[in-house]
């Protein structure tokens, strides 16, 4: 949540900062601002609303200067106003600071600073941090570059909470100081210029070389070099190449990133299993797990932790692993696990699932599991992320950057990875080569099925237009399609603001049916499987009470077609692969409903893509 960009170099900072901020807007879009050293002091521009509002202010009154910091905000403390937007200044007005994260003891710090005569203009915790750093700097005997770095270090020692910050001072042109504790921060290494950003996506047009800051590290950023210090002192750094390209940030011919990313799924699904199918052994290859087959065979339980869409993928994974490998799987919200005292079987293997690899609750849960002595593996889309680095091994999704706030292609990639894992574990136990081969063949055919399914987008659009006026919807599914129902409801909530709830279909009779009426559509995932007849009974129960039915069903299913008010037809594939196809019309349904309601699809209200605070 929130995005930071800083620049030091020979070029004008303003256009670079605005462009890079635009690439981070999915991280937060309540307000935005920048501070640039103009040769006379710190010049600040900040506006509530989208980054375009800031750009308008900068076009009306440009800021000239070669170094600056900037920020796009997702509000935590204080409403999204011009005053609360970052950057914030210290008491002297010479120091500017931008901040991602939450300062948990900010009230205590504010009281201390207020007694010392400090006055504050905003409602944010960040302004307190700016004053704290400024106070430390002003108390320094000398006001050199080292003093600013020391001031940041001393101030952070008083702060509780997570943060990523960038700081500059009017008396120290050509220097930006950055620090990380919990919230991601990367250095972009250029030629005679350097950058600081929350996400490599911001750096795509400017450099493909980065240094990932680790927790507790501080960087002094100059145009021609940078110095990184850890709590143990100066350290050597490793410059990495990043894969992000400018094209990844472009919607192409699609009106929204969400639709573009839905249509990318034939390729991203293929990327998820590419090179990982072992046809000779009728199994899969996941070398990144860093476990031998004998070691894998020793685990008696699996525990999956994640948030939102990632957890739903883990719930599908639970069904797949238990079905194919007969290994019990627990799934839990990462936010609950990290603070719970629930017992865990000693021979348990953990999986932390996160598209960004920076999700605060998932990272906290992973650290808690490791603290308890468990081996933890990550499933991430960012090989340079914190979860990828702190895991004992894992699987990289190869989905490419996902810009739309509502996750789509990352979900299907995660489910494919769990399918590969289930096949691997199954072959180590009781899964036959013949059954495994059928699954692998279905996986190989999946991209073609997805291509065919996406051609039905216009059919889904017409259904969405018919039901877009609904104020509430129910989503039902059974077995591996229950998490698909949860995911369909989540997508609907996220991008349309229509109230939607997902339930196991059998729970309909246990209270949920009280919500059924003529104005509340029920979306039932009812493809042909072992509980098909049970789903038909649920459909009849809803229909008998006047509720509209929208069914996800196999092509040509006349029973469903004769009963439902609308049908999302999907190709038929292996029962265990089917959920990946079943989620596609639900993604399209939420997207087209949001467009019909004139919602801001890629930037839904109150949401941010990467949730790096609790």
Catalytic residues: 2, 609
Separation CA 532–CA 486 (nearest Å): 19
Q: Give kind and range of the element (H or E) at residue 177.
A: strand 176-181
Separation CA 431–CA 419 (nearest Å): 13
Q: What secondary structure letter does DSSP report for 505?
A: G
Separation CA 577–CA 373 (nearest Å): 34
Beta strands of 334-408 (E only): which ranges? 348-354, 375-380, 393-396
The HSE-up count of residue 414 (CA atoms within 13 Å, CB side) is 36
- DSSP characters over 301-317: EEEEEE-THHHHHHHHH
Encode 196-221 in three state secondary structure.
Answer: EECCHHHHCCCCCEEEECCCCCEEEE
Burial, 575: exposed, middle or buried (Cβ in 10 Å; 0-12, 13-18, 19+)? middle
Structure tokens that stand for 77 in this block:
């403390």
Separation CA 251–CA 259 (nearest Å): 9
Q: What secondary structure letter does DSSP report for 287?
A: G
Phi then psi for 91, rounded to 5 degrees? -65, -30
Structure tokens that stand for 602 in this block:
């890629």
Residue 351, Ramachandran bin (φ over 0: left; ψ between -120 and 50: alpha; else beta): beta
3-state SS of the chain: helix, strand, coil percent to 5?
A: 40, 20, 35
The 3-state DSSP class for residue 19 equals helix
Q: Give kind and range of the element (H or E) at residue 410.
A: helix 409-428
Burial, 311: exposed, middle or buried (Cβ in 10 Å; 0-12, 13-18, 19+)? buried
Pairing between strand 161-169 and 95-103?
antiparallel
Separation CA 349–CA 304 (nearest Å): 9
Identify whether the C-beta of residue 70 lies closer than 8 Å to the C-beta of residue 4: yes
Separation CA 112–CA 99 (nearest Å): 20
First to last CA, the chain: 10
Burial, 247: exposed, middle or buried (Cβ in 10 Å; 0-12, 13-18, 19+)? exposed
């Amino acid at each position: 949540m929130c995005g930071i960009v800083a620049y030091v170099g020979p070029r004008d900072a303003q256009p670079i900062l605005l462009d890079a901020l635009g690439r981070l807007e999915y991280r937060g879009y309540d307000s935005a601002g920048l501070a640039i050293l103009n040769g006379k002091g710190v010049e600040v521009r900040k506006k509530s609303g989208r980054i375009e509002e800031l750009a308008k202010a900068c076009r009306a009154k440009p800021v000239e200067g070669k170094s600056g910091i900037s920020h796009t905000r997702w509000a935590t403390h204080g409403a999204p106003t011009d005053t609360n937007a970052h950057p914030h200044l210290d008491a002297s007005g010479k120091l500017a600071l931008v901040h991602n994260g939450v300062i948990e003891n900010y009230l205590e710090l504010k009281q201390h600073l207020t007694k010392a005569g400090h006055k504050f203009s905003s409602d944010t915790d960040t302004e307190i941090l700016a004053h704290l750093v400024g106070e430390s700097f002003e108390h320094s005997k000398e006001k050199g570059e080292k003093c600013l770095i020391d001031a940041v270090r001393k101030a952070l020692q008083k702060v509780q909470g997570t943060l990523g910050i960038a700081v500059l001072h009017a008396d120290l042109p050509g220097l930006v100081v950055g620090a990380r504790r919990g919230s991601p921060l990367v250095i972009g290494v250029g030629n005679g210029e350097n950058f600081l950003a929350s996400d490599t996506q911001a750096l795509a047009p400017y450099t493909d070389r980065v240094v990932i800051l680790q927790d507790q590290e501080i960087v002094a950023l100059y145009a021609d070099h940078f110095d990184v210090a850890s709590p143990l002192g100066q350290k050597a750094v490793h410059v990495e190449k990043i894969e992000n390209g400018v094209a990844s940030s472009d919607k192409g011919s699609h009106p929204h990133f969400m639709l573009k990313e839905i249509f990318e799924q034939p390729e991203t699904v293929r990327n998820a299993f590419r090179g990982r199918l072992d046809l000779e052994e009728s199994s899969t290859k996941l070398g990144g797990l860093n476990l031998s087959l004998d070691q894998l065979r020793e685990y008696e339980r699996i525990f999956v932790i994640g948030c939102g869409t990632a957890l739903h993928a883990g719930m599908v994974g639970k069904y797949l692993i238990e079905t194919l490998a007969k290994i019990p799987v627990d799934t839990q919200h990462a936010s609950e696990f990290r603070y719970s005292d629930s017992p865990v079987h000693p021979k348990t293997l953990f999986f932390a699932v996160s598209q960004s690899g920076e999700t605060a609750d998932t990272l906290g849960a992973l650290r808690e599991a490791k603290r308890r002595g468990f081996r933890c593996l990550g499933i991430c889309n960012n090989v340079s992320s914190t979860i990828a680095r702190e895991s004992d091994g894992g699987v990289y999704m190869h989905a490419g950057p996902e810009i739309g706030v509502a996750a789509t292609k990352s979900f299907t990639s995660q489910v494919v990875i769990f399918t590969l894992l289930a096949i691997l574990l199954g072959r180590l136990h009781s899964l036959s080569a013949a059954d495994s081969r059928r699954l692998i063949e279905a996986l190989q055919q999946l991209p073609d099925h997805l291509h065919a399914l996406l051609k039905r987008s216009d059919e889904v659009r017409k259904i969405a237009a018919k039901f877009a006026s609904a104020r509430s919807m129910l989503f039902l599914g059974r077995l591996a399609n229950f998490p698909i129902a949860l995911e369909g409801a989540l997508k609907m909530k996220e991008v349309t603001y229509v109230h939607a709830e997902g339930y196991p279909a059998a729970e309909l009779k246990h209270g949920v049916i009280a919500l059924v009426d003529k104005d509340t559509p029920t979306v039932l995932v009812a493809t042909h499987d072992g509980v098909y007849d049970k789903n038909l009974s649920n459909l009849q129960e809803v229909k008998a009470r006047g509720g509209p039915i929208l069914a996800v069903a196999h092509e040509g299913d006349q029973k469903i077609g004769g009963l439902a008010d609308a049908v999302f037809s999907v190709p038929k594939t292996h029962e265990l692969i089917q959920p990946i196809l079943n989620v596609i019309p639900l993604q399209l349904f939420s997207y087209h409903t949001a467009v019909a309601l004139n919602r801001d699809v890629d930037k839904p209200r109150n949401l941010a893509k990467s949730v790096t605070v609790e």
